[in-house]
Structure 1
Amino acid sequence: MRWDIFCRVIDNFGDVGVCWRLSAELAGRGEHVRLWLDDLQALDWMAPGALEGRVEGIEVLHWTMPLPAGQPASLPLADVWIEAFGCEPPPECINNLATRLTRGERPPVWINLEYLSAEPYVERSHRLPSPVMSGPLRGLTKWFFYPGFTERTGGLLREPDLLQRRAAFDADVWLQGLGVPTLTPRASLFCYEPAVLPEVLRQAARVPWQWLVTPGRAWRAAQATSAGNLHPLPLLTQAGFDHLLWACDLNFVRGEDSLVRALWAGQPFVWQIYPQHDKAHHAKLEAFLDWLQAPASLRVFHRIWNGIGSAAPVWPDTAELGEWRACVQAARQRLLAQTDLATQLSGFVQGKR
Structure 2
Amino acid sequence: MPAAPLIWDVFCRVIDNHGDLGVCWRLARELAARGHGVRLWVDDAGALAWMAPGALQGACPGVQVLPWGEPFDAGALGGLTRSDVWIEAFGCELPKAFVAHGARAAASARPPVWLNLEYLSAEAYVARMHGLPSPVLHGPAAGWTKWFYYPGLTSQTGGLLREADLPARQQAFDRAAWLAAQGVPWQGERLISLFCYEPAALAAWLAKLDAARQPTRLLVTAGRAAQAVRAAFDNEIGRLRMTGVRKQLSISYLSHLSQIDYDHLLWACDINFVRGEDSLVRALWAGRALVWQPYVQDDGAHHAKLEAMLEALGAPPDVRAFHRSWCGVDATPLPVPDWVAWAEGVQAARARLQTQADLVTRLIGFVRQKTLK
Normalising by structure 1, we get a TM-score of 0.97
Selected match of 1:343 from 361, 366, 370: 361
SS in structure 1 at match of 2:251:
strand
C-alpha contact (below 8 Å) 2:271/2:288 kept by paired residues: yes
Q: Corresponding residue for 1:112?
A: 116
Q: Corresponding residue for 1:181?
A: 185
Selected match of 1:229 from 250, 257, 260: 250
Selected match of 1:137 from 134, 141, 149: 141
Cα distance in 1 between the residues matched to 2:331 and 2:256: 34
Cα distance in 1 between the residues matched to 2:134 and 2:32: 27
Q: Corresponding residue for 1:248?
A: 269
Instruction: Establish whether residue 275 from structure 1 lines up as the match of residue 296 from structure 2.
Output: yes
Instruction: Establish whether residue 20 from structure 1 lines up as the match of residue 45 from structure 2.
Output: no
Selected match of 1:220 from 224, 227, 232: 227
Aligned partner of 1:126: which letter?
H
In structure 2, runs of 5+ residues without a counterpart are 1-5, 234-239, 241-248
Residue 315 of structure 1 and its aligned partner are, at CA, apart by 3.2
Equivalent positions of 1:11-160 (< 5 A) are: 11-68=16-73, 70-102=75-107, 104-160=108-164
Cα distance in 2 between the residues matched to 1:71 and 1:119: 40
Residue deviations 1:258-278 (CA, integer Å, cap 9, x gap): 000000000001001111111
Aligned partner of 2:343: which letter?
R
SS in structure 1 at match of 2:192:
strand
Q: Corresponding residue for 1:201?
A: 206
Cα distance in 2 between the residues matched to 1:161 and 1:58: 19
In structure 1, runs of 5+ residues without a counterpart are none
Cα distance in 2 between the residues matched to 1:151 and 1:110: 22
Cα distance in 2 between the residues matched to 1:310 and 1:216: 26
Among the aligned pairs, what percent are the same residue? 56
Cα distance in 1 between the residues matched to 2:127 and 2:106: 33
Residue 111 of structure 1 and its aligned partner are, at CA, apart by 0.7
Cα distance in 1 between the residues matched to 2:96 and 2:266: 40
Instruction: Establish whether residue 239 from structure 1 lines up as the match of residue 265 from structure 2.
Output: no
SS in structure 1 at match of 2:77:
coil
C-alpha contact (below 8 Å) 1:71/1:92 kept by paired residues: no
Cα distance in 1 between the residues matched to 2:310 and 2:106: 46
C-alpha contact (below 8 Å) 1:203/1:315 kept by paired residues: no
C-alpha contact (below 8 Å) 2:74/2:97 kept by paired residues: no
Residue 136 of structure 1 and its aligned partner are, at CA, apart by 1.2
Instruction: Establish whether residue 298 from structure 1 lines up as the match of residue 319 from structure 2.
Output: yes
- May I ask how many residue pairs the two structures share in their alignment? 349
Cα distance in 1 between the residues matched to 2:204 and 2:163: 37
Selected match of 1:169 from 170, 173, 186: 173
Residue deviations 1:242-299 (CA, integer Å, cap 9, x gap): 0000000101000000000000000001001111111011111111111111011100
Q: Corresponding residue for 2:218?
A: 211
Larger displacement relative to structure 2 (92-101 or 250-259): 92-101
The CA RMSD measured in Å over matched residues stands at 1.0
Residue 69 of structure 1 and its aligned partner are, at CA, apart by 5.6
Normalising by structure 2, we get a TM-score of 0.92
Cα distance in 2 between the residues matched to 1:8 and 1:220: 24
Cα distance in 1 between the residues matched to 2:200 and 2:331: 11
Q: Corresponding residue for 2:345?
A: 327
C-alpha contact (below 8 Å) 2:287/2:347 kept by paired residues: yes
C-alpha contact (below 8 Å) 1:189/1:213 kept by paired residues: yes
Q: Corresponding residue for 2:243?
A: none
Residue 90 of structure 1 and its aligned partner are, at CA, apart by 1.3
Compared with structure 1, are the counterparts of its residues 46 and 60 closer, same or farther at alpha carbon in structure 2 (3 Å cutoff)?
same
Q: Corresponding residue for 1:4?
A: 9
Cα distance in 1 between the residues matched to 2:76 and 2:148: 27
C-alpha contact (below 8 Å) 1:189/1:253 kept by paired residues: yes
Residue deviations 1:217-246 (CA, integer Å, cap 9, x gap): 100111122234211101000000000000
Residue deviations 1:151-188 (CA, integer Å, cap 9, x gap): 11110000001111111111110010011122320100
Cα distance in 2 between the residues matched to 1:315 and 1:202: 13
